[in-house]
Amino acid sequence: MYKIYLSLFLLLLLSQCNLADKTESHNYTDLGENVYLFSPEMEIGAIQHLIDSVYAIQTTNESEFNENRFAFLFQPGEYELDVKVGYYTHVIGLGQSPDDVMINGSVTAVAPPTYNGSVLINFWRAVENLAINPSTDSTNVWGVSQAAPMRRVHIKGNLQLHDNGAASGGFLADSKVDGQVVFGGQQQWFSRNSEWESCKGGLWNMVSLGVIGAPKTDWPNKPYLSIDNTPFVREKPFWTMNESGELWLEVPALKEETKGVSWGAAKESSNKEISISEFYIAHPEVDNSESINAALANGKNILFTPGIYWLKNSIEVTNPGTIIIGMGMPSLIPEGESPVIKIADIDNVTLSSILVDAGLTKTDQLIQIGEPGSDLDHSENPTFIYDLFIRVGGFHAGTTKNCVTINSNNVVVDHVWLWRADHGNGVGWDVNKAANGLTVNGKDVTIYGLFNEHFQEYQTIWNGENGTVYFYQCEMPYYVPTPEAWQHDGKNGYASYKVADHVTNHHAWGLGIYNVFFNSAAIVDCAIEAPENLEQNFHQVTTIWLGGNEGSEVKSIINGKGAAVNQSNRKATW
């Protein structure tokens, strides 16, 4: 009932605004009750009031795991606004270039009122495809941690990635900052294909890939790792609105050896344009796995509008080139033992902007890409995964064996957070059970930004050849009950990152692996397990003893080599 009243209240606010004439021939009410389409012709005070009203209910302690989901869509033009972005809020510009939507003011994420500047739990929000002209000290504050991407954004000033307190990582891609990026107390951060004038701050693991203006690598004296070019990437698809008010999804082309942003003054002629008419628009109150699979069988792409989707069976993706995309942080939850999404061993699937919660019934995996034993070559048309966030616990007491299994070859993941909850609802060593976050069986799999933490065995298992990871952030599991409970096969604990003994080629750059063993003097032999001949392929590794029980320890960085971290030696590097 609360959600119904909230929606009616916000609709009443929005009704005070008038849509621009150019959208009158297009009905976008089917995008969902919590998708709000703004135009510069609307009364700006009403827009600001609506945004503030959403933020007021999405920034409290209770809102971290609530059911509200929102998307703010801005048509091209200029707006005098302070856009406060709380939990489960997705801010989207609809221009061909980020500069087509100009926010004069701010688009901010700051610490909740009672957190004294700490943004350690500023999760599940996003902003993309717009420009910000900051009105306060020429600085826009985007103080976030995991699952809060900023993509395809132009900051016409400085960008501050903290709120004068603790912060724990984030993701910036395809964005330009005219001034300085201030990392501050960020423990780690991953930036890809961006540009800035200068940067400062950061604690342990600050990775820049294909970034113009990136700091010089000076490891281990400073926490920066900068790699000149991104080997290959297809930037995330983005929504646009044409002059007649039609919504289209622009799908960028695959590019190699890139640096800096993909956008400029001219439209990218290589982009593929897909009309919203080619999407089945899913709604949480009416759609289920049967209706969605029927649409997929008819050749439709899928757009998930804001809300919670309970799915009794897997969503089956069997057509090459299919796009599965979310708007407004939609949540998918399995009601049975089947994965939420199963993607066949096919070319060029896009999975983007989806949040998945483990169900109350245990699944073997939540996302499956390719069938076991998949062996096709997809190098010409790889599958791309963008901004995929998975939770086990927190929302409720979910359970799974493994969050994501990649069986297909040539898959590219561009930002993922796999999280066995350490707080929230349904949390405990014997409650939100989950062995692993990620298992990779396919060959030539690349990940840009792998956040993976708190699982009860190996966080990451890599069985496929020629795997590559740029940036890894992991906290080992909280609340290990006893050291003995975590022993296996004659070993103390589980390494965070496990490369199988048979693998002959694997590379990883910029890894931060941390432990907080609160409940016992838990011990783990090493942070990374890998074949000995691959040890030199792990570049710039940091291990940190963040805190915990006296006597707890990570005894080495990789295979018994590298210094231990414990209460007396809290940091080690490789």
Q: Which SS3 state, helix, strand or coil, does residue 419 take? A: strand
Give backbone dihedrals phi and psi of 122, rounded to 5 degrees, phi first: -80, 80
Contact 285, 309 (CB under 8 A): no
pLDDT computed for residue 244 by the predictor: 86
Supply the CATH classification number for the domain 282-573: 2.160.20.10
φ, ψ for residue 486, nearest 5 deg: -110, 5
Q: Distances in Å between the alpha carbon of 323 and those of 274, 301, 342, 354, 413?
A: 10, 5, 13, 12, 15
Residue partners of 252: CB distance under 8 A and separation at least 6 = 234, 235, 236, 237, 262, 268, 270, 271
Question: pLDDT category, 8, cuts 50, 70, 90?
Answer: very low
Backbone angles phi, psi at 338, to 5 degrees: -85, 155
pLDDT the model gives residue 454 = 98
Place of tokens 């009416």: 286
Distance CA 140, CA 135 (A): 8
Task: List, in sequence order, every residue forming a beta bridge with 573; answer none if it has no partner.
Answer: 542
Structure tokens at 454: 């708190």
Between CA 328 and CA 288 the distance in angstroms is 18
What pLDDT, on the 0 to 100 scale, is given for residue 156? 98
- What is the C-alpha to C-alpha distance for residues 247 and 217, in angstroms, rounded to an integer? 42
Task: Look up residue 17 and give its two tokens.
Answer: 């605004």
Residue 110 and residue 119 in contact, taking contact as beta carbons nearer than 8 Å: yes
**CA angle in degrees (0–180, nearest 5) for 308-311-314:** 130
Strands (E), 115-236: 125-134, 139-141, 150-155, 158-160, 171-173, 176-184, 188-192, 195-201, 205-209, 224-227, 230-233
Q: How confident is the model at residue 29 (pLDDT cuts 50, 70, 90)?
A: low
The average pLDDT across 339-361 equals 98
Q: Distance between CA atoms of 473 and 514, rounded to whole angstroms?
A: 8
Q: What is the pLDDT of residues 544-563, one digit of tens each?
A: 999 889 999 999 999 999 99
- Residue-level pLDDT at 28: 59
- Return the biggest CA–CA distance within the chain: 70
- Give start-end residues of each CATH 2.160.20.10 domain in the chain: 2-205, 282-573
Give the Å distances, CA to CA, from 379 to 232, 234, 370, 410, 444: 11, 13, 14, 6, 8
Q: Give the N- to C-terminal CA distance of the chain in Å, as an integer.
A: 54
Show the tokens assigned to 123. Answer: 């999760």
Contact 529, 497 (CB under 8 A): yes
What number is the average pLDDT over the span 321-339?
97
pTM for the model:
0.95
* CA–CA dist 363, 314 (Å, integer): 11
What six digits make up the tokens of 105? 């003011």
Residue 475 designated active-site: yes
Please report which confidence band the pLDDT of residue 10 belongs to, taking 50, 70 and 90 as the band edges: very low
What value does the mean pLDDT take over residues 275-281? 97
pLDDT tens-digit series, residues 404-415: 999 999 999 999
Report the pLDDT value the prediction gives residue 243, as an integer from 0 to 100: 85
What is the rounded CA–CA span in Å between residue 436 and residue 420? 9
Specify the DSSP element, H or E, that contains 367: strand 363-369
Q: What is the mean predicted confidence (pLDDT) over 506-526?
A: 96
Q: Which residues of 465-500 are buried (b: 16+ CB within 10 A; e: fewer)?
A: bbbbbbbbbbbbbbbbeebeebbeeeebbbbbbbbb
Other CB atoms within a 10 A radius of the CB of residue 509 amount to: 18
Residue 71 has pLDDT above 70, yes or no: yes
- List the structure tokens of 85: 């972005």
My answer on whether omega of the bond before 220 falls inside 30° of 0, hence cis, is yes
Encode pLDDT of 384-443 as tens digits.
999 999 999 999 999 999 999 999 999 999 999 999 999 999 999 999 999 999 999 999
Q: State yes or no: pLDDT of 451 exceeds 90.
A: yes
- Among 64, 128, 457, 475, the active-site one is 475
Q: What are phi and psi of 114, to 5 degrees?
A: -100, 10
CA distance readout (Å), 522 to 274, 390, 427, 448, 539: 52, 26, 19, 30, 26
The CA-atom distances, in angstroms, between 541 and each of 237, 536, 537 are 32, 11, 11
Structure tokens at 358: 């483990």
Q: Is 2-205 assigned to CATH 2.160.20.10?
A: yes
Residues forming a β-bridge with 440: 406, 462
Task: List the structure tokens of 205.
Answer: 């693991």
277: left (phi over 0), alpha (psi -120 to 50) or beta: alpha
Any idea how long the chain is?
574
Q: What is the mean pLDDT of residues 330-345?
A: 97
DSSP states along 235-285: PPPEEEE-TTS-EEEEEPPPEEEE-S-S--SS--TT-EEEEGGGEEEE-TT
